[in-house]
Amino acid sequence: MKNNIKGVGVALITPFTQNGGVDYNALERVLEHITRGGVDYVVALGTTAETATLSRQEQQDIFDFVRKHNRGGLPLVVGLGGNSTEDVVRRLREFDMDGASAVLNVTPYYNKPNQRGLLEHYRAVAGASPLPVILYNVPGRTGVNMSAETTLQLASEVPNILGIKEACGLLPQITYLLRDRPEGFLVISGDDGMAFPVAALGGDGVISVAANALPELLVELVHATTAGDNRRGAALHLRLQEVIDALFVEGSPVGIKTLLAAKGMIENRLRLPLVTGSDGLMERFRQLIRRYDL
């Protein structure tokens, strides 16, 4: 299976205007910023994009915009997920994903399927997808953890599955994936705080929230570690840990939007039920920017 997904991917935010619409000017600024920062690929319409609050038309418009303004020619991954397998399959057939390299598909949320349900869901999704599928396991958001055994079964049995964005937060689970995965199956960290250990263990980089604001540092961390320079990777991990922790104190993407606003890149606006970060969080980021020269 042809694969151009490697290194640091950015889980792209969706900036909003004062009247609640998509702020395409700010989105273009973020795209230019991450491209200059050297990221390897872009993930549009993931969790960080507040996709659950976007209309179907907004989702298509945002992907069209990212595709048009991808001046660095970076590989694009499009997030298409949901808690109805039938609806996801239909959207895979209808969504114009021309130019994308892969589909990121989150485990169904709220329904809490068992492991057999997850197997059947992903068999159906992979069978319908015109592009390779990256599984996305994020139990903190979906309410269900896809086990290493289930992931490995899918990796071995379903040809159109390219890899997994693993955000379980459990290093032993990720370790088993790295140990037992078939050749060519990607194991990508879904947590910024796990980017270093996953890369050091031979994983395939990170799909990063923090890289919206700090692309150069995440790229250096992952690329150095992947090249075997664990000393440099560890130093960057230690430098970034406090910032990464702050990103998730009030939830995501609340944190990354607060950091981007503190850096003057976007207006600090989200769609309900998410609300903007507190004044205390904004001040914390301003202090961290000064302390760590961000």
- Report the pLDDT averaged over residues 104-124: 97
Q: Are 204 and 6 in contact, with CB atoms under 8 Å apart?
A: yes
The answer, yes or no, to whether residue 261 has pLDDT greater than 90, is yes
Give mean pLDDT, residues 113-117.
Answer: 98
135 beta partners:
105, 164
| 3-state SS, residue 286 | helix
The answer to whether residue 224 is domain-embedded is yes
Angle at 49 between CA 169 and CA 75, to 5 degrees: 85
Residue 84 lies in a domain: yes
Q: Mean pLDDT over residues 278-291, rounded?
A: 97
| Residue 261 identity | A
Report pLDDT digits (tens) over 82-100: 999 999 999 999 999 999 9
Q: Please, what sign has the CA dihedral across residues 47, 188, 199, 35?
A: negative
Using an 8 Å Cβ cutoff, are 280 and 258 in contact?
no
CATH number reported for the structural domain that contains residue 84 in this entry: 3.20.20.70
Q: Around Cβ 103, how many Cβ atoms within 10 Å? A: 28
Q: What is the pLDDT of residue 2?
A: 60
List the catalytic residues.
136, 165
What pTM does this model have? 0.96
Which pair of tokens denotes residue 250?
């009030």
Query: Which pLDDT band, with edges at 50, 70 and 90, does 206 fall under?
Result: very high
Question: Does residue 256 have a pLDDT over 80?
Answer: yes
| pLDDT at 100 (0 to 100) | 97
Using alpha carbons, list the distances in angstroms from residue 165 to 66, 71, 78, 92, 190: 21, 25, 13, 19, 5
Is residue 1 pLDDT above 60, yes or no? no
- Residue 292 placed within a domain: no
Closest CA to 268 of 286, 243, 290, 241: 286
What is the per-residue pLDDT for 3?
82
Q: Is residue 246 part of a domain?
A: no
Residues 6+ apart with CB under 8 A from 68: none
Q: Report how far apart, in Å, the C-alpha atoms of 211 and of each of 10, 29, 74, 182 are.
A: 6, 14, 15, 29
Spatial distance between the Cα atoms of 66 and 26, rounded to a whole number of angstroms = 12
Is residue 285 in some structural domain?
A: no
Q: Is residue 242 part of a domain?
A: no
Domain residues for 225? 8-229
**For residue 53, pLDDT beyond 80:** yes
Q: What is the mean pLDDT of residues 131-157?
A: 97
The number of domains in the chain is 1
Q: Which two tokens stand for residue 277?
A: 């970060």
Which of the pair, 2 or 65, is modelled with greater confidence? 65
- Does residue 293 sit within a domain? no
Is residue 276, in this structure, part of any structural domain at all? Answer: no
- Cβ-contact 50, 271 below 8 angstroms: yes
| Averaged pLDDT for residues 224-241 | 97
